[in-house]
Amino acid sequence: MFKYIINSSPIISLSKAGLIFILDNFDIIIPTGVFDEIQSDKHADEAKRFIQNNENKVYDKYIISQELFSWNLGKGETSVIAIAMTMPESIVVLDDGKARKCAKLYDLKTTGTIGLVLLAKEYGFIRNVSDAILSLKNAGLYLSDELIQSVLNSNG
């Protein structure tokens, strides 16, 4: 199974939607940049509990190149990509479009929160994709109507 190097947005979104248990089923890496972002978020109590309970998955051995730094991404996104550049068999979990574009330029495998939900359904960790998407949307994750329709048409 792949290692999933996860940014703060998917952790926070899944926790606010009551779906954080999904991450227990994946081999995840939490960069220190992500850990720090979540710890400083005043509205992410469940996400804070999750990362504190998974401190053994926090990873701090990475170097940020000047080229990557020049993308001006967030601390978490930058650390996710920096770690993935040293782990070719990993998948980065990013929701931000600019960060995903950067990751793809480095030929990194990418997914996002919805991608994790689809994998959770495929592996039998959740029963219903549409309920999960509704929970994520209600929790504040921006999802375009086109994306929702596409996912539901393909996966119900």
Read off φ and ψ for residue 128, nearest 5 degrees.
-135, 120
* Residue that is written with structure tokens 């920096």 in the block: 82
* pLDDT tens digit sequence for 128-141: 999 999 999 999 99
Q: Tell me, what's the pLDDT at 141?
A: 92
Q: Tell me, what's the pLDDT at 140?
A: 92
Q: What percent of the chain has pLDDT over 90?
A: 85
As a whole number of angstroms, the distance between CA 149 and CA 126 comes to: 19
The pTM is what?
0.93
Q: Which residues of the chain have pLDDT under 50?
A: none
As a whole number of angstroms, the distance between CA 79 and CA 39 comes to: 15
Q: Tell me, what's the pLDDT at 156?
A: 57
As a whole number of angstroms, the distance between CA 87 and CA 91 comes to: 9
Domain positions in the chain are: 3-155
Beta bridge partners of 31: 59
* pLDDT tens digit sequence for 100-110: 999 999 999 99
Q: Tell me, what's the pLDDT at 134?
A: 92
Q: CATH assignment of 3-155, given 3.30.200.20, 3.30.499.10, 3.40.50.1010, 3.30.750.200? A: 3.40.50.1010
